[in-house]
Structure 1
């Protein structure tokens, strides 16, 4: 299994798994109870860190799946996302509404990216 690298592994999951030229990030969340804007900023900063540690960056994101506790907050999340995403290399993306792990989480983002 030396061809699979895992970052920040715990008993249940790893925050990132690198295999076959791709990095798969676990669902990233912000600080419980913060605003949608602040949670999204925290999540995207964490994504950038994990991608860098995986040998990738946001220009190499292939797919983003975004879960929101309430789609009424879609525009607020998008304002942060649009300012962050690489406009020359936007990923395929889907956004949906779901009950997240706790009611204090408002946004969760899952990323698949190519490794450089």
Structure 2
């Protein structure tokens, strides 16, 4: 049985959970009220940092779930996403529309990755 390791743990959630060789990141949001492009870049920057801390990187992402407050922002978010994902390393991905924690958040990304 694999141990579970948690990083940046609070009462409600951990930012990183590692089980075996799989890394689970909490949903990442950007600067409130910034553009969708800026919020997306903020999320991706946080993901890079958390993955590095967990012993991984964006080439090892297995799956990403993206929530947008408004699907009208799909193209703006994708422009930033597409520039960030290394060629040949696109993860399984889903994107949907949902109310986020506050109206100032326009995008949230949730990632699972492999260590190594």
CA distance in 1, matches of 2:42, 2:86: 17
**Partner of residue 35, structure 2:** 35
Q: Which blocks of at least 5 consecutive residues in structure 2 are unaligned?
A: none
SS in structure 2 of the partner of residue 111 of structure 1: strand
CA distance in 1, matches of 2:21, 2:53: 14
Runs of 4+ in 1 over 3 A off after TM superposition: none
**Partner of residue 17, structure 1:** 17
**Partner of residue 64, structure 2:** 64
Normalising to structure 1: TM-score of the pair? 0.97
CA distance in 1, matches of 2:87, 2:97: 25
**Partner of residue 94, structure 1:** 94
Residues 9-55 of structure 1 show CA distances to partners (whole Å, capped at 9, x for unaligned) of 11110001001210000100001111001000000000000000000
Over aligned residue pairs, what C-alpha RMSD do you find? Answer: 1.2
Normalising to structure 2: TM-score of the pair? 0.97
